[in-house]
Every structure is written in structure tokens, then in C-alpha cells.
Chains A and B, each alone.
Chain A
């Protein structure tokens, strides 16, 4: 009796211990998240939604800026806008999927694709902002060209009136020269940025950076041209008593 009782007791204890040890494993394998996993899933979804929304805002800003460009052709503008809109659609679908995820592992995998499959901040934003900058530089070139023509006519007029226009002409020549340099640089940057694709990232990162340097040099040329233009306008206003 005693022996049988002991065996029974040992069996019950072993069973209890086995149950205690196996319960967490069973819970972990279950599709129903534990309170901790559920909280982590919600955190991933919340952070994912915020990151996706921030990128959607950036993409919509880029689309808006592309709509205001003046030197891109309609085809170029449309191609770039379509690219951006494709990313908007893709990220919106990702957000819907992430919000519907029920397990942490899937949610984390989806979260990771916000960065690894889209490159909004790494590729699109630097590339498209520089395209917009190149367009604005080319627009500045056009304004400076028109201004140079007007200033040349006033310089000619001042010369006809018997004034020494040597210094004015030299300044205008510099303005024209810097404008031409800026135009070449902006066009080079634009031509290098437009054909790039997200699938080529990060190999094309260097091209984006080089275009940035090229545009910076063009901006310096435009600043010199602008300074010359302002100086010429002030001088000619006085000389010809322009009203």
C-alpha cells in the first residue's frame, strides 16, 4: 500500500512538473499572442504607421514640387510623378497589411520593408529634391539671360550718350559667362539624376552625391551672376536716370 502510494505520488508530481514546464512552450507556439507579444505587435504597427505616414507626406511634397517645375518637359515631369505615385500606392498597401498583421514576426518583417523595399529617404528624396533644384537653377539661367539682354541695351545706350562703359561691359560679360557655366552644370546634374532607379540603390548613391556637388558649384556661379546683375541695375539706374 505504501509502495503503491509512493509510486502514485511520484507519478502525480512528475505529471505536475511536466505540465508546469511544458505550458510556456505551448503558449509560445500558440497563434494567440501573450500579453507581452500583443503589446509589442501594437508598438511595431504604431511605429510602422508613423514611419509610413511620414514617407507619404514627403512623397506628396515631392509630387507637388514636381508640378511646379518649369524646365522639365511634360514627359519628364509625368515620368517622375508616376514613380512617386507608385511609391505612394505601394506604401499605402503596406500600411494596410501591417495594420492587419496578427503576429509579431510578420509585423516586424513588414516593418522592415518600409526601408529595404522603398528607400524613400535614402534614394527618392535626395534624388528628386536635386532634380527640383536643377530645374530651379535652369529657371534662374533663363531669368538672367533675359536680364542680360535688357542690361546690354542700357549699356549701349549709356555708351551712345558718351559714357565710359568699360567697367559695366566687363561686369555684364562676367554675368553672362557665369550664367552659361551654371546652365551647363545644372543640365549635367539633371541628366545624371533622371534615369536613376530605386533598384539601383545603393550603387547609384555616388551619382546622387556627385550631382549635389555639381549643383552646388552651379549655385555659386549663379550667385556671382546675381551679384553682377544687381550691381549693373544699380549703376544703370543712376547713369540713365531710369524711372
Chain B
């Protein structure tokens, strides 16, 4: 009588739980962050390159700055410019008065022979 015990079922190979590579996650995160920073830094530069390859944008001139919508803080000299306009107005009105007076006070145009 064969009393050899039946072969034991093959024990499954012990499953090895892989160790979590936390350092890899950290590295990947840092890489993404670095990439974002690089992208953020490169966007304005790439725009500038694109503009420079096309027609160069002229620098704002004094005239274009002057016609710009006034900002919250009016430019220095605004009050002086207004005062100057009022002075010009006064000068013109003074001319009106002077000529009107001359017209109204014209001497008599009659024969005054001695």
C-alpha cells in the first residue's frame, strides 16, 4: 500500500508587495512643477519673439500717450493747461470788447470846416 502522502499542493509563490516608490512621486511632482515654471517663463518670451519676427511694434510716442484716456491720476500740468485755455478765452473776449467800443464810439463824420 502506497502510503506516500499526496503531494502537497504547490504553495503559491509568495506575492511580494511592491514597495511604494515615494521618492519617484516626489521627483515627478517636482518635474511637473519645474515644467510649469518654465512654461510660465517662456510664454511672454515667445510672444515677444513672435512680435519681433513680424512687424516691429512702434514704441508709444508722445502724441499717442497724450490722446490716451486719462487715468485715475491726471497728468501734472492739467490744471495749468485749463488755466491757459481760460486766459486765451479772456484775451479773445477782450478783443471783442475793444472793437465793439471803437465801433460804438466812432467820431462824427460831418463837415466841420473853419
Residues of A within 8 A of B (CB): 40, 43-44, 47-48, 51, 54, 65, 108, 111-112, 114-116, 119-123, 125-126, 129-130, 132-133, 136-137, 139-140, 143-144, 146-147, 150-151, 153-154, 157, 161, 212, 215-216, 219, 222-223, 226, 229-230, 233, 236-237, 240-243
Does B111 make an interface contact (CB < 8 A)?
Answer: yes
Complex Cα distance, B102 from A212, in Å, reads 12
Task: Please name the residue on chain B nearest to A147 by beta carbon.
Answer: B85
Does B89 make an interface contact (CB < 8 A)?
Answer: yes
Does B77 make an interface contact (CB < 8 A)?
Answer: yes
Q: How many residues of B contact A (CB 8 A)?
A: 35
Most chain A CB inside 10 Å of its own CB: which residue of B77, B82, B83:
B82
- The residues of A that contact B88 with a CB separation of less than 8 Å are 143
Complex Cα distance, B102 from A51, in Å, reads 18
Check B83–A233 contact: CB distance below 8 A: yes
Residues of B within 8 A of A (CB): 69-70, 72, 74, 76-79, 81-83, 85-86, 88-90, 92-93, 95-97, 99-100, 102-104, 106-114
Check A65–B99 contact: CB distance below 8 A: yes
Complex Cα distance, B105 from A121, in Å, reads 10
Cross-chain contact of A226 among B81, B89, B100 (Cβ < 8 A): B89
Task: Please name the residue on chain B nearest to A208 by beta carbon.
Answer: B103
Complex Cα distance, B113 from A40, in Å, reads 10
Check A143–B92 contact: CB distance below 8 A: yes
- The residues of B that contact A223 with a CB separation of less than 8 Å are 93
B107 CB to closest chain A CB, in angstroms?
5
- The residues of A that contact B76 with a CB separation of less than 8 Å are 243
Check A243–B103 contact: CB distance below 8 A: no
Check B86–A233 contact: CB distance below 8 A: yes
Cross-chain contact of B111 among A43, A115, A222 (Cβ < 8 A): A115
Check B114–A44 contact: CB distance below 8 A: yes
- The residues of A that contact B108 with a CB separation of less than 8 Å are 121
Check A132–B95 contact: CB distance below 8 A: yes
- The residues of B that contact A233 with a CB separation of less than 8 Å are 82-83, 86
A223 CB to closest chain B CB, in angstroms?
8
Cross-chain contact of A229 among B81, B89, B111, B114 (Cβ < 8 A): B89
Complex Cα distance, B111 from A114, in Å, reads 8
A sample of 10 inter-chain contacts (CB < 8 A) reads A121-B108, A125-B102, A129-B99, A130-B103, A132-B95, A133-B99, A136-B95, A157-B70, A223-B93, A243-B79
- The residues of A that contact B89 with a CB separation of less than 8 Å are 140, 143-144, 147, 226, 229
Check B85–A216 contact: CB distance below 8 A: no
The 3 closest A-B pairs by CB, nearest first: A129-B103, A122-B109, A136-B95
A121-B106, A125-B103, A129-B100 known; A157 vs B74 contact (CB < 8 Å): yes
Check A136–B92 contact: CB distance below 8 A: yes
Most chain B CB inside 10 Å of its own CB: which residue of A119, A125, A129, A223:
A129
- The residues of A that contact B83 with a CB separation of less than 8 Å are 233
A55 CB to closest chain B CB, in angstroms?
9
Complex Cα distance, B78 from A41, in Å, reads 67
A52 CB to closest chain B CB, in angstroms?
13
Task: Please name the residue on chain B nearest to A43 by beta carbon.
Answer: B114
- The residues of A that contact B70 with a CB separation of less than 8 Å are 153-154, 157
Complex Cα distance, B104 from A237, in Å, reads 39
Task: Please name the residue on chain A nearest to B95 by beta carbon.
Answer: A136
